[in-house]
Structure 1
Amino acid sequence: MRSVILIDDEVFARKGLCSLIPWNDHGYQIVGEASDGEEGLELIERLQPDLVITDIRMPVVDGLELIRSAKEKNLTRSKFILITGYNDFSYAQQALRFEVDDLLLKPIDEDELTETLRRVSSKWEKAAVPAENENRRALLLERLLQGKAEESTAQEAARLFGFTRDAEFRYVIVERNDASSETEEEAALALEGWKRSAADFLAALGQGDPPMPFQTHNPYAFGFLADSGRLRAYAGSWERFAEGLVRHVSKAAADSSAVPRVYLGHSVRSAKDAAMSYRSVFESLPHKFALADQTVIFSEKTGSMPLQYRDLDPKWTDVFMESLEEHDVNAAHEAVSHMFAEFRDLRFAPESIHACISRFALGVAETIGKMEGNEAEVESLLGVLHWNKRPMTLSGLRRVFEDFVRDGSDYMASLRKDKAKGGISKVKLYIETHFRENISLKSIAKQFYMNPVYLGQLFRKTYNVYFNDYLLNIRIQEAKRLLRQTDCKVYEVAAKVGFSNPDYFVTQFEKVERKTPMEYKNSLIARS
């Protein structure tokens, strides 16, 4: 029995409606009455009736205002019938805007009221069938995908989903990638837009009536079971079907950076075996980096492509870190290119890619710490460390990583400049205490996190001497002391002042002193 409340400021009008028809015979029961819209709204909130029959013109709160208030309070369970004594089109327009279910003109006769109630009852019945079927379809799909479907379940699914006979089936996943700037709430809303776009696409192929339930796997991906009988527009080609789906959902992404990827599970000959396709499509998801240039990925192909759990060639770690510390943009770009080529060509597993990226990021953070900087100043660091929290293409990941490389390198360069203003004296002191070792402009620049060219220029400007000349002069002066005060051989002196090649030492000594080391030592003996 459907519950009804009557709202009219004229008591005789309400009593007349109560006695006009045998309400119970039509499946309705009057459970309350109100004399104005304000009282009626309170009654609606308290009784939650199935049907509200209200006059339009009433004191305090009129019928249209009553309905608007009920909608605002989310009292959407009730259906509304408006009664008016005015055959005014503007009232009908407003009634439509508030989604009123029917409109009655005074005076109301028995047949008109009975027919109106019949139409409203019909709306409930029509709404109940799709809702019941939708719940049943969702339950059937869940059973199919879990592998719990008997033949009878598959037959019922074929009827409810409208599957064609002798069709093959694939589970399809549509994934939104590279939407890194979205919040989870924004991503979920955007995914709903993609679902609507996909539903329109399937409906155009005849696979949307009855509508296929979508499975939401996370805020960035949804899936559905597709049957080959709907591929006539694509000459039965699953690949062309998937490409068409990509084009269609891409329209929904026109104002977004999101990039679609479509994955298709194994083809199965019966809906009863849909679980096999469902499992295989999830196994194909990690292969998108190895198949970076493919928008559509089939599980049959990925099944013969084992992923590799490995590390990068160590040389790229050294090249990468060195290029960042030297602020060499071209060298850093080349290193990143080689790294990502290895990720793709050697079929790195996503876990291995994440480990490599994280190691580089943490290495940069550690270097910044040694330079007495704050890694939090590099805002893109967190994005690189947590990139795997959202789906990304390989090219999208590379853009994120390159942004981090640029930010990290720029920050280290700014730290170097700050340190260089008061640090050149430390470089000079380092030379004077380590000249006996195998040092060079490049090795010292690395030690002090400075660009070698910049360090050389700064040293020349500060001390009015070239770095190499200063280092050579210190070494030669120490060599002369050893020749004067010890009986070391020339090759021993060379080693003690940082020359690994005695012949080169002799050449450099002669360049500075205009005589060889032996000539210098002999001249000392001659004076004795």
Structure 2
Amino acid sequence: MYKVLLVDDEVFVRKGLRSLIEWEKCGYDVVSEADDGEDAFEVIKQISPDVVITDIKMPIVDGLELIKKVRETLDHDTKFIIISGYNDFSYAQRAVKYGVVDFVLKPIDKEEFEGILTDLHRRLEMERTARKAKDKLYLSQLIVNVFDEAVKEGEISKWSRALKMDQSQFFYYVIFEKNNVTPNKVTPDKERKCLSNIIVDALSDIEKNNQPLAIYEHEENAIGILIAAHHLIEFDHDIVQFVSRISKEVNRKANQPITAFIGTKVSKLFSIKHSYETANRIRSYKYIVEDKDVISYENVMNIPITFNDINKSLYVKLIEQMEEKNINELEKVIALIFSEFQSRRFAPWAIRTSINRCVHGIIETINSMDGNVKSMSTIEAMTNWEKYHLTLDELKKVFREFIIEGTDMIQELRKENMKGDIYKVKAYVESNYHKNISLKSIARQFYMNPVYMGQLFKKTFGMYFKEFVLKLRMDEAKKLLRQTDMLVYEIAENVGFGSTDYFVTQFEKKCKMTPTEYRNELLKK
């Protein structure tokens, strides 16, 4: 179990998180709470939690100040998850700066939050395994110790000698990520090992001095390496040129695309953690500069990125076009969504949120129609796309295939349910005609095409939908005129008319007299 500290100035939020999330199932134990950043800092010093889940806005010391203080003053590799009620770019930007695991907006979605915790647990397990496996790869313990701040600066000289690295040289940390990994092609362990070996082979082909390498396995299909000045001699100390050469070799040997992320240059081996943090941070730019297979911190550090969701209208239009099976319009909406990802420079977690929102909406629609989502051939790839490190183009292909299959399934389910549904529609209208209903709103509620529903209604019941609603309203209006002393405008509202004038006009058309005249005629009898 990994230790968790909850930090929020509102006690009901902390208690809500405790009860909402299945902590033990996710591999965590909530060991303590704090109601502000100052108290939280003291708790962190005392119990060294593995994970801190903190609000941003709190009295005395806020969440970001807490993270900054921990990063600057404590030797703890604590993972931070921020929860906030403010969808503010500046907060998210600063959170990325401090290496926050994720930025979650309130209200908390149980499934999404548990997914984040599960991914973090996997990451923590990998880091723990890496720390224990001292001889797993060339001097990987060097990186583990420096990242965990488990080695003092004075002790770094022995590592420098082992690596034949002079401490006066400069260093870079580079993360190589394999993209578009084919599902079920190989097991994750074999995949990572393959990537490690390919990188080692590529480096040995490029760098002829056979210098020892420090290599670290991050997560599935992501490998980090430490590059020192002496590796760059033949490349005029140009790190981008050197890494581009590695990337090409890896591409050739792996027969799959690779993206490399170059961290900032540091002058001391002891500071390599900072280079790693910047390399990891710029993985957020993967979809922004997708035309490049090498992304350098210095080249993208000033490019703003978006942490918001897609425009709600796009999401609504996507679902509508699926329900109407308008393939041409669907293609346009999909193209527009992915164009927005690029033009507005969406960060990976913003893309994840947007895509998952669409996917969950489609799954809910199919489930509501008693469909079997698990039978979809595209569901596995769509719900697990992140672990395959897809490029934006590949993600678009997977998303499109899922949308088309989902559209076909919705249409088939509609055909099966349609006959019974038209009677449900009639019953619903008979109970709700006094409300503001329309053919389109009812069709949407019953997941039917409005044009087709109107035709089916006429065929089944012998009158158009609008005529049926008007008849119900008029019959009820006449009943109220006969049995009550309600005023005309009250009756109009009571039977579903928003305008008294329109009610009177329609009544006169149907009954050849106004409501008042109708009532007066009754009084004469």
TM-score by length of 2: 0.60
Alpha-carbon distance in structure 1 between the residues aligned to 2:206 and 2:384: 39
Matched residue, 1:503: 501
Matched residue, 2:4: none
Matched residue, 2:107: none
156, 163, 173: which one aligns with 2:161: 156
Matched residue, 2:175: 173
Deviations 1:196-223 (A, max 9, x none): 5544543443356246354333341222
Matched residue, 1:19: none
Aligned pairs for 1:15-34 within 5 A: none
What secondary structure is seen at the aligned counterpart in 2 of 1:266? coil
Deviations 1:119-173 (A, max 9, x none): xxxxxxxxxxxxxx998856667667666464643652453xxx69975321212
Residue 373 (str. 1) matches residue 375 (str. 2): no
Alpha-carbon distance in structure 2 between the residues aligned to 1:140 and 1:367: 51
259, 262, 267: which one aligns with 2:260: 262
Deviations 1:81-118 (A, max 9, x none): xxxxxxxxxxxxxxxxxxxxxxxxxxxxxxxxxxxxxx
Query: In the alignment, residue 420 of structure 1 is paired with which amino acid?
Result: M
Deviations 1:315-358 (A, max 9, x none): 55544544444445556556555655666666666556545544
**Runs (5+) with no aligned partner, structure 1:** 1-132
Matched residue, 1:436: 434
CA 1:198–1:207 in structure 2 vs 1: closer, same or farther (change >3 Å)?
farther
Q: By how many angstroms is 1:417 displaced?
A: 1.4
CA 1:366–1:142 in structure 2 vs 1: closer, same or farther (change >3 Å)?
closer
Matched residue, 1:427: 425
Aligned pairs for 1:43-122 within 5 A: none
Alpha-carbon distance in structure 2 between the residues aligned to 1:520 and 1:372: 51
**8 A Cα contact 1:357 1:385, kept in partner:** no
**8 A Cα contact 1:199 1:211, kept in partner:** no
Alpha-carbon distance in structure 2 between the residues aligned to 1:368 and 1:134: 47
403, 406, 413: which one aligns with 2:404: 406
**8 A Cα contact 2:170 2:265, kept in partner:** yes
CA 1:463–1:262 in structure 2 vs 1: closer, same or farther (change >3 Å)?
same
Q: By how many angstroms is 1:181 displaced?
A: 1.7
Matched residue, 2:518: 521
TM-score by length of 1: 0.60
Q: By how many angstroms is 1:396 displaced?
A: 3.7
**8 A Cα contact 2:322 2:407, kept in partner:** yes
CA 1:292–1:509 in structure 2 vs 1: closer, same or farther (change >3 Å)?
farther
What secondary structure is seen at the aligned counterpart in 2 of 1:226? strand
Deviations 1:38-90 (A, max 9, x none): xxxxxxxxxxxxxxxxxxxxxxxxxxxxxxxxxxxxxxxxxxxxxxxxxxxxx
Alpha-carbon distance in structure 2 between the residues aligned to 1:521 and 1:260: 80
- Alignment: residue pair count: 388
What secondary structure is seen at the aligned counterpart in 1 of 2:218? strand
Alpha-carbon distance in structure 1 between the residues aligned to 2:228 and 2:413: 60
Matched residue, 1:226: 227
Aligned pairs for 1:264-279 within 5 A: 264-271=262-269, 273-279=271-277
**8 A Cα contact 2:167 2:269, kept in partner:** no
Alpha-carbon distance in structure 2 between the residues aligned to 1:152 and 1:376: 56
Matched residue, 1:237: 238
What secondary structure is seen at the aligned counterpart in 2 of 1:215? strand
Deviations 1:490-527 (A, max 9, x none): 433332332212233334344545x3525862894698
Query: In the alignment, residue 496 of structure 1 is paired with which amino acid?
Result: N
Deviations 1:419-454 (A, max 9, x none): 112222222222233222211111111221212122
Deviations 1:294-321 (A, max 9, x none): 4322234565568776655555554454
Query: In the alignment, residue 153 of structure 1 is paired with which amino acid?
Result: K
Alpha-carbon distance in structure 2 between the residues aligned to 1:485 and 1:145: 83
Alpha-carbon distance in structure 2 between the residues aligned to 1:140 and 1:440: 68
Identical amino acids, percent of aligned pairs: 32
**8 A Cα contact 2:172 2:226, kept in partner:** yes
What secondary structure is seen at the aligned counterpart in 1 of 2:415? helix
CA 1:269–1:477 in structure 2 vs 1: closer, same or farther (change >3 Å)?
same
Alpha-carbon distance in structure 2 between the residues aligned to 1:511 and 1:330: 42
CA 1:244–1:504 in structure 2 vs 1: closer, same or farther (change >3 Å)?
farther
What secondary structure is seen at the aligned counterpart in 2 of 1:224? strand
**8 A Cα contact 1:490 1:502, kept in partner:** yes
**Runs (5+) with no aligned partner, structure 2:** 1-134
Q: By how many angstroms is 1:418 displaced?
A: 0.9
Matched residue, 2:468: 470
Alpha-carbon distance in structure 2 between the residues aligned to 1:403 and 1:443: 28
RMSD over aligned CA atoms reads: 4.1
Query: In the alignment, residue 248 of structure 2 is paired with which amino acid?
Result: R
Alpha-carbon distance in structure 1 between the residues aligned to 2:431 and 2:137: 81
